[in-house]
């Protein structure tokens, strides 16, 4: 079984991501992941943008795996909105079903609490 097949089997809610690394330290499982898409939609005007402003890492707590807490280190991008009439200059990409603004946990973990 390939690495990507194993990730898809164990973490189906991360199917939209490119999982680059899985590491275990103590009682914590850490996944390093990034999006696969080249563009994102501005939440204010809906304009699609490929104009990347910057990248940063978000940390999301996910459901435990085999008794270990799981942390996703997700590289996300901030895009420029190039629509001239939009009030937003930049926006952070969101992954549908996984991230929402300022959330530090996955929806799956919030459902289990």
Residues that bind Zn ion in the complex, under the rule CB under 5 A: 42, 44-45, 47, 81, 83, 86, 88
Q: Please state the closest distance from residue 40 (CB atom) to Zn ion, in A.
A: 11
Name the 3-class secondary structure at 22.
Answer: strand
Choose between 13 and 88: whose C-beta lies nearer to Zn ion: 88
- Cβ-Cβ contacts under 8 Å for 19 (sequence gap 6 or more): 4, 7, 11, 31, 32, 33
The CA-CA-CA angle for residues 58, 37, 90, to 5°, reads 60
Choose between 30 and 83: whose C-beta lies nearer to Zn ion: 83
Q: Please state the closest distance from residue 101 (CB atom) to Zn ion, in A.
A: 15
Q: Please state the closest distance from residue 17 (CB atom) to Zn ion, in A.
A: 24
Name the 3-class secondary structure at 109.
Answer: helix
Residues 12/5, Cβ–Cβ less than 8 Å: no
Choose between 16 and 82: whose C-beta lies nearer to Zn ion: 82
Q: Please state the closest distance from residue 33 (CB atom) to Zn ion, in A.
A: 26
Choose between 8 and 45: whose C-beta lies nearer to Zn ion: 45
């Amino acid at each position: 079984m390939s690495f990507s097949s194993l990730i898809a089997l164990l973490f189906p809610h991360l199917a939209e991501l490119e999982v680059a690394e899985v590491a275990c330290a103590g009682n914590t499982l850490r996944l390093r992941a990034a999006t696969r898409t080249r563009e994102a939609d501005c939440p204010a005007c809906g304009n699609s943008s490929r104009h990347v402003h910057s990248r940063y890492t978000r940390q999301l707590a996910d459901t435990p795996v085999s008794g270990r807490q799981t942390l996703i280190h997700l590289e996300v991008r901030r895009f420029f909105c190039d629509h001239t009439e939009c009030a937003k200059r930049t926006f952070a990409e969101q992954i549908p079903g996984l991230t929402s603004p300022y959330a530090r946990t996955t929806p799956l973990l919030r459902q289990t609490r």
